[in-house]
Structure 1
Amino acid sequence: MQELIRRRSRAGFVGRAAERSAFRANFDTAPDDERHRFRFHVHGNAGVGKTFLVRELEQIARERGALTAYVDDSAGSVPEAMAEISRQFAAQGRRLKDLDRLLAAHRERRHEAELAALAALEAEAEENGRPSAGGRLVARAGVVAAGMVPVVGPLAGLLDSDQLAEGADRLRETLVARFRDHEDLQLVLAPEQVLTPVLLRELSDAPAPWIVLFLDTYERTGPYLDPWLHTTMTTDRHGPLPATTVVVTAGQRPLDTSRWGGLADFVTDLPLAPFTETEARGLLAAKGVTAEPVVEEVLRLTGGLPVLVSTLAESRPADPDDVGDPSATAVDRFLKWERDPARRAAALSCALPRWLDGDVFRAAADCPGEDAEAVYDWLRSLPFVTDRDGGRLRYHDVVRAPMLRAERRRSPRGWAERQRRLARAFREWREEAGAGRDAGELWADETWRELRLAETYHLLCAGDRDALAQALRDFVPACDAGAGVAARWARALLDAGQDADAEATAHWGRDLTAALDTEGITTALGLLLRHAALDAPTQARARLVRGDELRGEGAYAQALAEYDQAVALDPELAPAYRHRAGVRGELGDHDAAIADLDRAVALEPGNAWYLALRGEHHRIARHDAEAIRDLTESIRLDPAAEFPWASRGATHARAGDLEAALADLGRALDLNPDYAWALARRARVWRAMGDSARQLADLDHALTLTPDWPWARCERGDALRAAGRDEEAVADLNIALTLDPAYTSAYASRGASLTHLGRHAEALADLNRAVELRPGYVWALCRRAVLHAAMGRLDEARADVARVRELDSEAVERFSDTDRAVLGPVLAG
């Protein structure tokens, strides 16, 4: 039956030709071909046809002989998703026996864990004479807090932080005592780590030419599947994934660029928009709807949304009257069955806000208090009203747009007044949220920003005289808050322009959105600076934000030019001096950076952060007394900030005051135990005190936190070399040089370890590279002199020693006895 249903559905499949073609062509390119893609991501709004397309892609994959599995939000965790994959593979003749065995053990162990936690709780309650009501919930809380299941569904609203903490602590204690076998414990606490290697191993043994996994409803499953998928596809933590594997994900949102942004060459993005007119007509024709007046009416009412086109087509309308009165508006269509005038009026009024919650509903709807809750519940049940972001309701665009047009045309003055009323409500909430805070804090607060944005949108829709100018001024701090916030601001301009038929506003929205999409914040602000009438302080702030963007891209000269213009436009803009100091410091001009920070501190003398930054630049410039002065004052103003403690500790360390250095760095780490820079600096103090065990412990911790930090890798490589662990040292130094191929001291250190390992040719190449990068590098010259002598190249050794004497006359005296034994003939000569 299922197969027959699939066949009939496929026979009626219309549209998405480009998406199907791209997916089909991928099977014609080998995995090692640069054109091959390992992941496809389908995304678009609800109703756009994602699941229908995914099912079509699954059939295409099967036609190519692929082993396939389809998983949606019925799988509530990674193990459940694996179980579904295994079940579907078995139905295709490929059983994953080892995985099934472990999944069964996982379910059994998890059940035992829940029972054990409950039993422990009930025993404790009986011992203390307390009732055990709610005990099962707290036991379940332990399972959630331990990471065995995601916090989703009804459970999420029932558990508070105390229950989670109590349950997690109790469960861990119980499990450690109960499960002596490490694998059993891991199956409960970290099942993915046990199950995934087995899944990958069995996939590698699968006889199929392709393996294709389809993960649907990704807006719900992504929070727990996406990190696992990223680790599995891009790292070897769980073992090799067969190169013939293709993953298709489908959800409402695009890919998480913070996780997948650097992997664009391996992913095909398939954004789904509503059907084009041609595609919609094709679907209607496939359903036998071909009469032109009927087709036009369907197209007008649906906006091309596949789910609505398909729904209207299913009734096989033969006349426009069957679809709806040709002269009727889309509003009449979507509210066709609602006869209660109060509900109809509320539905129309609530189309005005871009989003709704209970408070916005009461501000928008003219609804008596006693009826408001019932009407709101009814509104939430409407098929075109969806809960998209945690409690906020949104109308679907194809419904909201015609409602807005109808309301604006019915009463232009009434439209404007209702928009102003909503703007006033959002302003009151915004002012309440922002009371007692400065502008910088407010723009960092998402709640406050959303209220400000909503207020701005409604003022633009009302056509207030200064609304557009103020919205453009606000676009500058929106850009400072990040690209996502800037995009939302530009989109609000575009929406307001379209919804209120205000072309100037829509024009700005289109241009700013296009600039952000194609070039980014720098270009969007350039557009604003060229064409908007901004006052000098706003221009200065825009220049500051542009400078920050350019600095982030490494365009330091252009960033400095922007900061120069910012301070020229507004000499009192302290952040411009601070940010310019940062660029100058990165360029190595710490004296100029200090001068800029002098100005910033003069403008804001109580700013602890500015003082800390100036102290750090003094430290780097070796102005130790000034550094201690600034850092001490910063600590006095803000003793809970870890940065000045760490910087002052590093300053004490260089001055040789190791006890003071340990105290300050220890305080920084008390405030932030995962402060990698402070750990690495404290490791240097331990080295100076001869405590190699603590030195390595701090470096291990730092690298656990920041594994891609070249400096810490090099530091640990040096520490391992000093401990005689040269193989491990070389491994760390290899990573450091992969991360930073121009890291001079890493070449020298690796050369020294390779010398100890007897790999003289490789050691000489590294030491040569270090000296090439830094011709006056005394330590590298000393190591090379010893290596030359060990290789019998006495003339080269003499040349290196002579060069060392030129650079540092005392360096030769610091050779160890072992080095002197090797250099004997050279030093004697």
Structure 2
Amino acid sequence: MARTRMSMQELIRRRRRAAFVGRREELRVFEANFEMPPDDDRHRFLFHVHGHAGVGKTSLVREMAQLARDRGALVASVDEGASGVPEVLAEVAAQFAQQGRPLKQLERALATYRQRSHEAVAAAERQPGPGTPSTGSAVAARAGVAGLGLVPVVGAFAGAVDADRLALGADRLRARFRSQEDARLVLEPERALTPVLLDELAGAADAAPWLVLFFDTYERTSPFLDRWLHDVMTTDRYGELPAHTVVVTAGQRPLDPARWEGAADFAADLPLRPFTEAEARDLLAAKGVTEEPVVAEVLRLTGRLPVLVSTLAESGPTAPGDVGDPSATAVERFLKWEPDPARRAAALACALPRRLDEEAVRAATGEGGVDPAELFAWLRTMPFVRTDGKGTARYHGVVRAPMLRLRRNASPESWSSAHTRLAELYERRRGALEEGGPARPDRPWTRPAWRALRVEELYHRLCARPRAALPEVLREGVEACRVDTAVAREWARAVADAAEDTAGAEGSDAATDPPAGDTEPLKSLAAACQGPLALEREGALLVLEVLLGRAELDDEGRVAAYNAHGLRLFLLGRLREALGDHERALTLDPRDPWGHHGLAVTRRALGEYEAALGHLADAAEVAPDAAWPARERGETYRRMGRPDEALPWLERAHALDPAEPLTLGSLGQVKFTLGRAREALADLDRAITLWPDYAWALTRRARVRQFLGDTAGALADLGRAQELAPDAAGTRGERGDVLRLTGRHEEAAAEYAAALALDPGYAWAWGGKALSLEALGRRDDALAALDEALRVDPGYGWAREQRQRIAGAGAGPAPSGG
């Protein structure tokens, strides 16, 4: 018989569970809940665990999660590593997939969100600068909202005539429909993504008896998560949550009584207090600490706080003096049991990093004589050190805080030098990532791996020299806010942590604490950012206003902040206000390329093409050798329906920067409009080779392929574009066009219907659907579809003509598109 072997991970989990002491009543209440069906009035859908740091919330949550798994539940756990709702959903999807239940629709929707977010900050992706050819700095303003990087689907093929030859009014109207959809996804992702999550959870509920979602360190995530979670659980704003779902939150504070009023009907409040004396004694006994004088001393020194009881118990003290005397500091209590002075000093030094690995151990300890690998392995066995699934570790806050204070006060210079070494470590890691990553790192805040390193670097620079580091940190805050609110939260969390970790405590020695003047600006900045970042839509915009109000922000940073503020206004649809920001940037620096760029793309989005061309001419004077002014001039002419004038500018841009896919995409579109289909195909091929996920170019290449008779290739391109953006109505509309033009009208009508389900205001799809319905002999349905197209866009002349034709007697054959 084959022998069943357990994994190391399973054995470790079993040992941890065996060592878990206390909290039996809380676990009993949680477990009993699974015995009651959801329609039982006693069943609880929400459990909120709360209590002071060190009281054992995370340990209890971990035990509850294992208990739920034992009941066959699908379980996902999220902590402060998530900076926004999309990150929370991504973590849930990843953990469900690990348990054999992937949420594929949600994963696709998240991929679309990430792509749209990337496109939305295309203007901030690669900074244009005079004297250096840009590798693609500008917003790919393919729709009414230029920052979204998309072009609306403009319909079926009429020979080689591109839809840019159609009336600009209708084209802009369709652009506005698409841009609103994408703007909503980027600016309010929870509105688009949460219904997908709920649909997926409904499917998962069919495969598992329970779904249990855990949100630990809720005091960190509740500013952006609490409102969303309340809405998901108590309203139908996003859809229906399966009844067999249980939510567990754990934080330092009770639930907000204003928001969760009346929650007692469906929620269980689990306040955690220090261990009872019996629980503390049980834990000590499990660790072999049973001598009464020793037990009494541990109970007295720890106040029965679980993390401290566990930490002191690990030493196996045999006499009261092994525990510590009443005058000992908290740090002495944690480390008194360690006889090796080098280890004691190293353990104290390793409290400095927020996240710990071998290299961070080496940087924190300097030349301490302790092997970093051996020390890291030893620290990971300590009860006050928690390890995540990625191999990094962190000190428990209750233990870390007094260690930081002792280290800071005992030797300010050593404190500063250690934090500087840690900052340099993360700077080197950043450099290595930039060398090994994409060749266009000008806007790296859009890259999560780079961002994680930069945030740690900024934290340590603030801890080392708060006043000296603040201008650089403010400048980086501008770049974080340029991306979105979730990224701004990551930056702000580093600022808040540094403010807390460098602040002197009451009654401290003024001779050893950092001067108040060094830390006060940091504290005020952290406090000012806290409120705005609770808002998903306007959070980044409001933080930029905070930064603009700081005297420490230099003129270069102020110029960048005005332009970033203009971009955020642009994405919110406040275009006239955005113009003012870019004008302020140019007042400070008339040669700022971003100010000229912002004015150009905003004027273009307003339909003020001649003014946009004027700003781009100014930009070309500032950056005569850069590719982006030429590309944007070409793109502007293209949108004006003047492809002959667009072509030389796009060719100039391509000559300056041959590796820019956006330029090649526009070139392909223009050449196709001019009847040069083979050349257009070659340009689009190169664009997609450079950027395989370039959805806009894929849809444009599909048009060219269809025109050249390659229907299979066109459908393949549209299939790939749909994978990249499953919720893009335009891709389904394009697919309907290809199918209709090949006579597959049943399939075409279904694709148009799918497009209209995603965007009922997609006028072109109503027109295309009408032609397929007519071909299927459904004349009345075709007329109804055209009526809807005209309701959406009363100026849609083509639809009016087709309605008159179909309604009239002796109608001729249908043309190929509108």
Change beyond 3 A, Cα 1:698–1:40? farther
TM-score by length of 2: 0.64
- 2:343 aligned with 1:378: no
CA positional deviation for 1:453: 4.6
Does 2:279 align with 1:287?
yes
Structure 1, residues 681-705: CA drift from partner, whole Å, max 9, x if none?
A: 2333344455555544544443344
Q: What code does the residue aligned with 1:505 have?
A: L
2:728 corresponds in structure 1 to: 709
Task: Identify the match of residue 649 of structure 2 among 622, 630, 635.
Answer: 630
Q: SS at 1:512's partner residue?
A: helix
Change (3 A) 1:524 1:676: closer
Q: 1:296 to 1:625 in 2, by over 3 A?
A: farther
- The 2-side partners of 1:308 and 1:506 are apart by 29
Write out per-residue CA displacement over residues 513-542 of structure 1, whole angstroms, 9 at most, x where no aligned residue. Answer: 332234521111212223444333212211
Q: Secondary structure at the match of 1:248?
A: strand
Aligned residue identity for 1:479: C
CA distance in 2, matches of 1:335, 1:422: 23
Per-residue CA distance 1:292-349 (angstroms, 9 max, x = gap): xx99986985896x555678799999x9989753322221222132111111111112
Change (3 A) 1:413 1:673: closer
2:747, 2:275 → 1: CA distance?
64
Whole-Å Cα distance in 2 between the matches of residues 54 and 351 of structure 1? 24
Give the alignment of 1:271-670 within 5 angstroms: 271-273=249-251, 279-281=271-273, 283-284=275-276, 287=279, 301=302, 308=308, 324-365=324-365, 367-369=367-369, 374-388=374-388, 390-412=390-412, 414-416=414-416, 418-419=418-419, 440=442, 453-454=455-456, 456-463=458-465, 465-480=467-482, 482-501=484-503, 502-518=519-535, 520-670=539-689
The number of residues matched between the two structures is 629
Deviation at 1:460, TM superposition (A): 3.4
Name the CA shift for 1:25/1:507 in 2 (closer, same or farther; >3 Å): farther
Specify which of 10, 13, 25 is matched with residue 13 of structure 1.
Answer: 25
In 2, the alpha carbon distance for the partners of 1:413 and 1:660 equals 65
Cα pair 2:492 2:529 within 8 Å, conserved: yes
Mapping of residues 67-78 of structure 1, within 5 Å: 68-69=72-73
Tell me, in whole angstroms, the C-alpha distance in 2 between the residues paired with 1:475 and 1:703.
34
Change (3 A) 1:600 1:374: same
5+ residue gaps, structure 1, are 84-228, 791-796, 798-814, 820-829
TM superposition shift of 1:234: 2.9
Conserved 8 A contact 1:284-1:309:
no
Which letter maps to 2:25?
A: F
1:248 correspondence with 2:212: yes
The residue correspondences of 1:141-290 to structure 2 (distance < 5 A) are 234-235=199-200, 241-242=205-206, 246-250=210-214, 264=232, 265=238, 266=241, 270-273=248-251, 279-281=271-273, 283-284=275-276, 287=279
Shift of 1:747: 1.4
**1:491–1:513 CA contact under 8 A, matched in 2:** no
Q: 1:360 to 1:557 in 2, by over 3 A?
A: same
Whose Rg is larger? 1
Contact between 2:76 and 2:212, CA under 8 Å: does it hold in 1?
Answer: no
Give the match for residue 720 of structure 1.
739
> 1:71, 1:429 → 2: CA distance?
34
Deviations 1:356-399 (A, max 9, x none): 44444333325455756544543444333344474544322221
Mapped to 1, the partners of 2:44 and 2:773 lie a distance apart of 40
Cα displacement string for residues 767-788 of structure 1 (whole angstroms, at most 9, x for unaligned residues)? 1222334445343233322432
For residues 483-538 of structure 1, the C-alpha deviation after alignment (integer angstroms, 9 at most, x for no partner) is 45433332232222222223442232233233223452111121222344433321
One-letter code of the match for 2:772?
A: S
- CA displacement at 1:650 relative to structure 2: 1.3
SS at match of 1:466: helix
Letter of the aligned partner of 2:38 in structure 1?
Answer: F
Deviations 1:83-137 (A, max 9, x none): 9xxxxxxxxxxxxxxxxxxxxxxxxxxxxxxxxxxxxxxxxxxxxxxxxxxxxxx
1:683–1:696 contact (8 Å) kept in structure 2? yes
Deviations 1:448-471 (A, max 9, x none): 666655554444334564333443
Provide the rounded CA distance (Å) in 1 between the counterparts of 2:796 and 2:329. 80
Q: Deviations over 1:252-294 (max 9, x none)?
A: 6899999x98994548764423588994446426638899xx9
CA drift of 1:29 comes to 8.2
* TM-align CA RMSD: 5.3
Change (3 A) 1:622 1:48: farther
Whole-angstrom distance in 2 between the partners of 1:728 and 1:578:
43
CA contact (8 A) 2:213 2:248 kept: no
Distance 1:641 1:298, change over 3 A: farther
Native 8 Å contact 2:470 2:552 kept in 1: no
Q: 375-384 or 719-728: which moved more?
A: 375-384
Q: 2:790 aligns with which of 765, 771, 792?
A: 771
The residue aligned with 1:762 is 781
Distance of aligned partners of 1:11 and 1:363 in 2 relative to their CA distance in 1, 3 Å threshold = closer
Please tell me whether the aligned partners of residues 298 and 323 of structure 1 are also in contact (alpha carbons under 8 angstroms): no
The structural deviation recorded for 1:60 is 9.8
Aligned to 1:27: 38
- Give the SS at the match of 1:478: helix
Of residues 655, 661, 683, the one that matches 2:702 is 683
Alpha carbons 2:33, 2:44 under 8 Å: kept: no
Name the CA distance, whole Å, in 1 between partners of 2:646 and 2:316: 80
Taking a change above 3 Å as real, the CA distance of residues 481 and 339 of structure 1, as seen in their structure-2 partners, is: farther
Query: Could you say what secondary structure the match of 1:440 adopts?
Result: coil
CA distance in 2, matches of 1:533, 1:628: 45
Gaps of 5+ in 2: 1-13, 78-93, 102-193, 233-237, 255-268, 283-291, 504-518
- For residue 9 of structure 1, report the CA deviation from its aligned partner: 7.9
Partner Cα separation in structure 2 for residue 534 and residue 509 of structure 1: 15
Q: 800, 811, 815: which is aligned to 1:781? A: 800
Query: CA separation in 1, counterparts of 2:484 and 2:324?
Result: 45
CA distance in 2, matches of 1:430, 1:61: 39
Alpha carbons of 1:546 and 1:25: their partners in 2 closer, same or farther (altered >3 Å)?
farther
Amino acid at match of 1:466: A
What CA distance in whole angstroms lies between the structure 1 residues aligned with 2:629 and 2:391?
Answer: 40
SS class of match (1:353): coil
Work out the CA distance in 1 between the residues paired with 2:746 and 2:50: 48
Amino-acid identity (%): 37
- Contact 2:481–2:540 (Cα < 8 Å) also in 1: yes
Matches within 5 A, 1:98-137: none
Q: How far apart in 2 are the matches of 1:751 and 1:526? A: 49
The range that moved more, 646-655 or 277-286, is: 277-286
Secondary structure of 2:727's aligned partner = coil
The one-letter amino acid of 1:568's match is: T
| Distance (whole Å) between structure 1 residues aligned to residue 32 and residue 602 of structure 2 | 48
- Cα pair distance change 1:388/1:562, threshold 3 Å: farther
**Distance verdict in 2 for CA 1:740–1:444, change over 3 Å:** closer
C-alpha distance 68-380 of structure 1, shift in aligned 2 (>3 A): closer
SS of residue matched to 1:394:
strand
Cα 1:582–1:508, aligned 2, differ >3 Å: closer, same or farther? same
Q: For the residues of structure 2 that align with 1:81 and 1:447, how far apart are their CA atoms?
A: 25
- In the TM superposition, what is the alpha-carbon distance from 1:555 to its structure 2 partner? 3.3
